[in-house]
Chains A and B, each alone.
Chain A
Amino acid sequence: MKIDPGLAQFLISTAITEVMGIVRERHAATGDLPTDQEVIDRMKARADRIVEKADAFLRES
């Protein structure tokens, strides 16, 4: 069985992201609570970042 190193790395980083998400959720219960607008702004910023990275990659020949 051949393992794609990039995919394995992705799965590991996904697992870490999920654990961090759970930690943030616990932390949010005790403070550092984002407002609705902050959550909306964060979502838009992340979408913009995805588009920028995609454009840079797709421009490469």
Chain B
Amino acid sequence: MRFFKILSFALVIGLALPLLAACPKAPASVVTPQGRAAFKADQVLARIENLEDVVIRAGTPDAAGHRVISKADADLIVGFCKDAALVIRQTPDGWLAAVRVLWDRAAARIPPADLPAVQGYVLMISVLLEGAGA
């Protein structure tokens, strides 16, 4: 059972990471630089929204009152998602540097003792930002 879990996780990681970094190209009907920038920004926002949904679930107590990650850590990551969305909405053609700074600041505030619990989310955001800059 444990081997199956490890294998499943490795397969999902192997499938998801390359896909996460590669956003689809804008359709041919999108012709202006503003439209193409908005399309790419929307692709990034879609992934940020997915991540936000998962972190909110992980930071919300279940019926037994147990959280997958602490509320404080969830607040940090969800707060980053919000700030990133605001920056991207405002400057869809030049948001990457500012969002990287936001993430560096948020990640630096995660207590070292909590890193093992949130390292998957940290990795996802790092991969997303690297992919967006590629």
Contact B29 A35, beta carbon cutoff 8 Å: yes
CA distance A17 to B19 in the complex (A): 9
Q: A-B pairs with the 8 shortest C-beta distances?
A: A36-B35, A33-B29, A54-B82, A47-B89, A28-B27, A43-B42, A18-B19, A50-B85
Q: For the side of the interface on B, what is the size category?
A: 35 or more
Interface residues of B (CB under 8 A from A): 2, 5-6, 8-9, 12-13, 15-16, 19-20, 22-32, 34-35, 38-39, 41-43, 45-60, 68, 71, 74-75, 78-79, 81-82, 85-86, 88-89, 92, 117, 120-121, 124
Contact A47 B68, beta carbon cutoff 8 Å: no
Partner among A6, A13, A39, A51 whose Cβ is within 8 Å of the Cβ of B86? A51
CA distance A28 to B25 in the complex (A): 11
Q: Which residues of chain A have C-beta atoms less than 8 A from B42's C-beta?
A: 39, 42-43, 46
Q: Which residues of chain A have C-beta atoms less than 8 A from B43's C-beta?
A: 21
Please give the distance in Å from B90's CB to the nearest CB on chain A. 9
Please give the distance in Å from B58's CB to the nearest CB on chain A. 4
